[in-house]
Amino acid sequence: MKDGFIKVAAATPKIRVADCDYNASEIIRLCREAAALGVKILVFPELCITGYTCGDLFLQDTLLTAASRAVTRIAEETRELDMLIAVGCPVRDEWRGKLYNCAVLLNRGEVRGLRPKMHIPNYGEFYEQRWFTAGIDGWNGDVKFAGQRFSDRISTDGCFVCEGFPALSVGVEICEDLWAADPPSTGLARAGATIILNLSASNELVGKAAYRRELVKNQSARLHCAYIYADAGEGESSTDLVFAGHNMIAENGVILAESRFKAGLTVSEIDIARLSFERRRNTTFTPQKLSDEFWRAPFHLDIAETALTRPVARNPFVPPEKEQREERCREIFAIQTQGLKKRLEHTGSQKLVVGVSGGLDSTLAMLVSAMAVRELGLPSDALVAVTMPCFGTTARTRSNATLLAEKLGAELRVVDITKSVRQHFTDIGHDELDRSVTYENAQARERTQVLMDIANSINGLVVGTGDLSELALGWATYNGDHMSMYGVNAGVPKTLVRYVVGWYADTCGDAALSDVLNDILATPVSPELLPAENGEISQKTEDLVGPYELHDFFLYYFVRWGMGPAKIFRLAKYAFAGAYDDETILKWLRTFVRRFFAQQFKRSCLPDGPKVGSVALSPRGDWRMPSDAAAKAWLSELEELHV
């Protein structure tokens, strides 16, 4: 459970209806198989000891006694397994003369507690009220089961809490409980449960699987929890129904693993630390006031390393599927356009001014600006593109900037800043052969001055081009390209900028414009502040600060999920295995941490710009951080790592 990860599984055994001994053997077999994989929490379906489809046999003492004995056997034969196991079983309450559909929680050879089903369906194909009584809200029972008396551990209100790892708190509901108007899992999560187990026997109908999947995803999202759903499958009676074993493991609205029409194990890892962070962060997730009746049953698991198998995307900002990716690009572009339109209308400005370099960021800003102008009904030349060549400008980028402006119908202005920058060097006594930061920043600040003054002269508004990744790294000249009157790219990470421009190239319907955009996409990312070599770009950003795909990965997990550098390093090694070696990842992670802390002062005075995703760095919105916060603790954590 290092770094908060715990391996979990949903299991569907192939059963025989009413053959408890056979079913126990299959359950034990799957328990051992799961243990060999490192699984620590294992969930079986509803009434899996007997089978869900026993009908009136549930009223027979012979079946109920066999079921109790089967649980005793499972507990004994899994005593040595380091695992919390949930199995479904009918449980008699001889004091009240009633029968309950229960989840039985086993750990280290003991029954840790019983959880009765609260919502008993009696409609359509379901008629459970013929046999079972509901465990009502707040109810505590007193029953003898599997050789033990449960006077304080059979309840609808309670969680199972791991000794030594209290953030691992497990709540349980059964099948229909999730489909009810007020699922018990809501109260259990508010009482601290970070993982909800659902023992289910949900039959298959056309379209039901999609609905069931959305229920599980949405409940895990609303409760900021993990949800393990184990469904009945092979071996259940098919007299009237078919059960497909639709098993799912979800975390905070994302399905991590899923299987259907297949017996066996569905395995993944839950990140408990990530869920705990999300609950701390979300102030509308309010804890539930615990009553005296609310109990917490302990269970024990060894604290150990968890091998990862769950999906960890290299590009967390970029959807993997083409259709989703295109929809994401379309939505981002619309948000950017809407924000810029509002700012243009509000200021009463007549024109938009964009410094266009032939690079990705300024290209996206140009495309958004052109769309805003079009949607406001302004003439296309209300967009003013300014290209400002200097020492490092190459023919390729200058040509692409010119062609882009022409294809968008923008007014193109060329302002060569070489002479004015050289005059500035003379004024401040800087040797032009000294290619230090002064040499580079003088060009960036001169360009910003040109843009601002042109905007003033034409009642225009300067549109910023810097993206989210550059803001995170502070890769902008303070009061140079750092400054604008509205930063349309401020919420878009570099890895996604590339896809938005590519999406526009594919969908614009203009072959010539598409050709220009595709050549821009193929151009190395560069500020072009150092002289070209043989006409080619000599200064490549990713050689200086590191690959943007790594930095965007670091940014996502640092800001969105509050992860420390050591855990980010672990995930990055897993996600980028075969692409970067460990030394390279660690090198650029150190760079990210150092720059993120050192460059906060630039983010503290950012221009306005639209938030487009779950990660944003506006000092007025998502990210509040002092400009002089020390990075020592984060860097020290990295120093303790061994590659």
Higher per-residue pLDDT: 448 or 539: 448
Residue among 143, 218, 150, 230 at smallest CA distance from 183: 218
Considering the candidates 7, 20, 26, 46, report the single residue annotated as catalytic.
46
- pLDDT score at 628: 95
Determine the distance from the C-alpha atom of residue 502 to the mean position of all C-alpha atoms in its chain, rounded to a whole number. Answer: 24
| Residue 394 banded pLDDT, cuts 50, 70, 90 | confident
User: What one-character-per-residue DSSP string does 277-330 give?
Assistant: HHHHH-TT-PPPPPPTT-EEEEE----------S---SSTTS-SSHHHHHHHHH
Per-residue pLDDT tens over the stretch 325-370: 999 999 999 999 999 999 999 999 999 999 999 899 999 999 999 9
Residue 192 has pLDDT above 60, yes or no: yes
Burial of 386 (0-12, 13-18, 19+ CB in 10 A): buried
State what percent of residues in the chain have pLDDT above 70: 95
Res. 128: pLDDT tops 70 = yes
Q: Where in the chain is the domain with CATH 3.60.110.10?
A: 2-299
Q: Mean pLDDT throughout 291-299?
A: 77
For residue 635, pLDDT beyond 80: yes
pTM of the model: 0.91
Interval 615-631: pLDDT, tens: 999 999 899 999 999 99
Q: Comparing 40-54, 216-230, 296-310, which segment has the lowest mean pLDDT?
A: 296-310
The dihedrals phi and psi of 203, each to the nearest 5 degrees, come to -75, 165
Residue 138 has pLDDT above 60, yes or no: no
At 606-617, the pLDDT tens digits run 999 999 999 999
Asked whether the predicted pLDDT for residue 459 surpasses 60, the reply is: yes
pLDDT at residue number 200: 97
- Contact at 8 Å (CB) between 317 and 613? yes
> Of 526, 608, 521, which is closest to residue 342 (Cα–Cα)?
608
Determine the Cα–Cα distance for residues 572 and 314; give it in Å rounded to an integer. Answer: 8
- What is the pLDDT at residue 142? 62
- What number is the average pLDDT over the span 188-215? 95
What are the backbone angles phi and psi of residue 460, rounded to the nearest 5°? -110, 175
Question: Do the beta carbons of residue 330 and residue 323 sit within 8 Å?
Answer: no
Mean pLDDT of 233-240: 91
What's the whole-number average pLDDT of the chain?
92
Q: Please, which residues bridge with residue 229 across strands?
A: 198, 248
Residues written for the chain: 643
Coil vs helix vs strand at 111? strand
Q: Which CATH entry fits the domain spanning 2-299: 3.40.630.30, 2.40.50.100, 3.20.20.70, 3.60.110.10?
A: 3.60.110.10
pLDDT value at 152 more than 60: no
Assigned superfamily of 322-639:
HUPs (3.40.50.620)
Q: Whole-angstrom Cα distance, residue 140 to residue 137? A: 9
Closest CA to 160 of 174, 172, 170, 175: 170
Residue intervals in the chain for CATH 3.40.50.620: 322-639
Catalytic choice (7, 40, 117, 407): 117
> Distance between CA atoms of 607 and 483, rounded to whole angstroms?
7
Determine whether 46 is an active site residue: yes
**CB half-sphere exposure, 28, CA atoms < 13 A:** 18
**Is the pLDDT confidence value at 499 over 80?**
yes
Residues linked to residue 544 through DSSP beta bridges, in sequence order: none
What is the pLDDT confidence band of residue 573, given thresholds at 50, 70 and 90?
Answer: very high
What SS3 state is found at 220?
helix
What pLDDT does residue 634 have? 94
Mean per-residue pLDDT, 145-162: 74
Q: What mean pLDDT comes out for the span 297-316?
A: 92
pLDDT in the model for residue 291:
64
Expressed in percent and rounded to 5, the helix, strand and coil fractions of the chain are 40, 20, 40
Q: How confident is the model at residue 140 (pLDDT cuts 50, 70, 90)?
A: low
Residue 102 known to be catalytic:
no
d(CA 417, CA 442): 10
